[in-house]
Structure 1
Amino acid sequence: MEHDSALYVGLDVHKDSITVAYAAGSGEVELFGKIGTTQADIDRLCKRLQSKARQIRVVYEAGPCGYSLYRQLVQKGFECMVCAPPLIPRKPGERVKTDRRDAVKLVRLVRTGDLSAVYVPTVEDEAFRDLARAWVSAKDDMKRARQWLKAFLLSHGVRYTGRPDWGPAHRRWLSAFSFGNLWQQLAFDELRRTIEDHLAQCGRLEAALREAVLDWRFYPAVLGLQAMRGVQFTTAVGMLAELGDLSRFAHPRQLMAWLGVTPSEHSSGNKRRLGSITKTGNSYARKLLVESAWSYRHPARVSPEIQRRHEGIPKPIIDRAWDAQVRLCRRYRKLAARGKNANVTVVAVARELAGFIWDISRLAMSLAVPREVHAQCNT
């Protein structure tokens, strides 16, 4: 039997089970029960729900299970929302948490519109993001392996007299060094071999990423962002892979808030109190943003490296990147002259840098990029 009123469905999703609750219109919330997570279980659930109403709105919390369930439900014709768990309202003193309670709570909150949806990337964007994250993880593993080798050498009183920057000279010294004890030499060789393996893995992933980005729909934005100071290929790809479609932000302040670089606030009456930044949203994108902002502590100029990246880029993007450099360098000097801490100053610059990233990305997507510029990412 079909009803005209909307059906609100809340799902508490786990690896092996899904707890389902629903409510028809403004009626009481009912518990459907617990189902499995296989395709057949989802199909049976969809048939049962479709027999109850024409319009069905489903919500579940973002978690480690990803967005496959979201795509299955959308394909079935349902309205689906993946909500942000930290932004779910919670009553003070609420101490009991179960799967049933969570499912019922989601139904009530989606009916009143008190949930905040997360951005669900397309299948292609998610695949590119997975590749970019694999590259980042490989670089982190290599960094940890290098730290372990340095700590191992330091614990045995072995010090490199030059600059330990893992350049050719440093690596030649490591390959020629040996311990007198056989067991220590075995441990040293394994640590050194681990670094070489991670280095080769990083090279393979970077080559795959540079090849894949040529066919990515946000490739014009990758080129446009590299026209800015402090934004190279690593930063541009990593940030856009995490941000996704920037057109979903109607104003740059929304992007700043999503990155967590806006100040927290606790105001009451005539008193306005601003605190540290919120640090919400994607931590890796915020890290890249702050690292890029450090380059604006120097006077504004176009280095040969930046000039090389400008080749073939439309002039409006280059002009906007120069405007950003002039403004942000001046901003850093003004805050530093007022005695602000360097870290506080850089975060303030990073907040404005996010606005320029929003503007240049949208500008780059709207302008045609010559095909010959595409070779820049492979250099």
Structure 2
Amino acid sequence: MSDERHEAMRALARARHLVKKDLQGKRQQIWSLMLRLGRIYPGKTTWGPGHMRWPTAQKIEYREQRIAFEELFEGIRQEGECLERLENAIREVVPEWSLSEVVAALQAVRGIHLIAAVGVLAEIGDLLSNPARADGLSGSRALRKLDRYKVKRSGVTKAGHGRARRISWPQK
């Protein structure tokens, strides 16, 4: 595996992660602004097409609040477009990556899509060649305490690679 090529893929995956984080922050800011204005979304699912139309239909009385809202909403649109460009770039370069076969193997696990698989592999490398190392790096290995008659298991250690642990795992 070319270290430079792997670092390039890691940079692309991290850029996507940062844009996703910024998008979530802007959504939270709009949500907070609407709550401060006493506006509560009546639907059940948020940030789908219906929810995206709802804020724009709201009448905001003061110009200052309208400007703040419009800027935040424009930021969401821009971040969404950037996220789409980065995800398309990831999809485009994965076939050329040395870990493309491992990406395909990871996608066989329910709930892991291409972007999440690339994010994990970009951070911790080829986890199929050494699963124990992958557990340790990700911090996903549960602690075990040996008692005289039984093994007690505790939660995840959280001692490993934080960025690999925080990768989102949406459904395919």
TM-score normalised by the shorter chain: which range applies? 0.7 to 0.9
CA RMSD of aligned residues (A): 2.9
- Does residue 239 (structure 1) correspond to residue 127 (structure 2)? The answer is no
Residues 1:254 and 1:205: Cα distance change in structure 2 (over 3 Å): closer
Residues 1:277 and 1:246: Cα distance change in structure 2 (over 3 Å): closer
Match among 147, 167, 171 for residue 52 of structure 2: 171
* Shift in Å, 1:182: 1.2
* Shift in Å, 1:248: 5.3
Question: Counterpart of 1:253?
Answer: 132
Match among 25, 29, 35 for residue 144 of structure 1: 25
- Does residue 262 (structure 1) correspond to residue 145 (structure 2)? The answer is no
Match among 152, 160, 164 for residue 285 of structure 1: 164
Within a 5 Å distance, the mapping from 1:199-218 to structure 2 comes to 199-218=80-99
Higher helix share: 2
Question: Counterpart of 1:125?
Answer: 6
Residues 1:197 and 1:134: Cα distance change in structure 2 (over 3 Å): same
SS in 2 for 1:280: coil
Q: Distance in 2 between matches of 1:246 and 1:263?
A: 17
Higher relative contact order, structure no. (Cα contacts within 8 Å, ≥ 6 residues apart) = 2
Amino acid at match of 2:54: W
Question: Counterpart of 1:157?
Answer: 38
Question: Counterpart of 1:197?
Answer: 78
The answer to whether the 8 A contact 1:243-1:285 is kept is: yes
Q: Distance in 2 between matches of 1:282 and 1:183?
A: 42
* Shift in Å, 1:152: 0.5
Amino acid at match of 1:216: W
Question: Counterpart of 2:65?
Answer: 184
Residues 1:288 and 1:203: Cα distance change in structure 2 (over 3 Å): closer
Amino acid at match of 1:243: I
Deviation digits for residues 7-30 of structure 1, max 9, x if unmatched? Answer: xxxxxxxxxxxxxxxxxxxxxxxx
Q: Distance in 2 between matches of 1:255 and 1:128?
A: 18
* Shift in Å, 1:274: 5.5
Amino acid at match of 1:285: A
Amino acid at match of 1:257: G
The answer to whether the 8 A contact 2:144-2:153 is kept is: yes
Deviation digits for residues 301-359 of structure 1, max 9, x if unmatched? Answer: xxxx6xxxxxxxxxxxxxxxxxxxxxxxxxxxxxxxxxxxxxxxxxxxxxxxxxxxxxx
Question: Counterpart of 1:224?
Answer: 105
Residues 1:201 and 1:275: Cα distance change in structure 2 (over 3 Å): same
* Shift in Å, 1:172: 2.0
Within a 5 Å distance, the mapping from 1:1-379 to structure 2 comes to 122-246=3-127, 249=130, 252-264=131-143, 275-288=154-167, 291=169
TM-score, normalised by the number of residues in structure 1: 0.41
Residues 1:277 and 1:162: Cα distance change in structure 2 (over 3 Å): closer
Equivalent pairs: percent with the same residue? 35
Q: Distance in 2 between matches of 1:166 and 1:182?
A: 24
The answer to whether the 8 A contact 1:222-1:233 is kept is: yes
Unaligned segments of structure 1, at least 5 residues: 1-120, 296-304, 306-379
Q: Distance in 1 between matches of 2:145 and 2:113?
A: 37
Higher-Rg structure is: 1
The answer to whether the 8 A contact 1:163-1:170 is kept is: no
The answer to whether the 8 A contact 2:102-2:126 is kept is: no
TM-score, normalised by the number of residues in structure 2: 0.84
The answer to whether the 8 A contact 2:19-2:82 is kept is: yes
SS in 2 for 1:264: strand
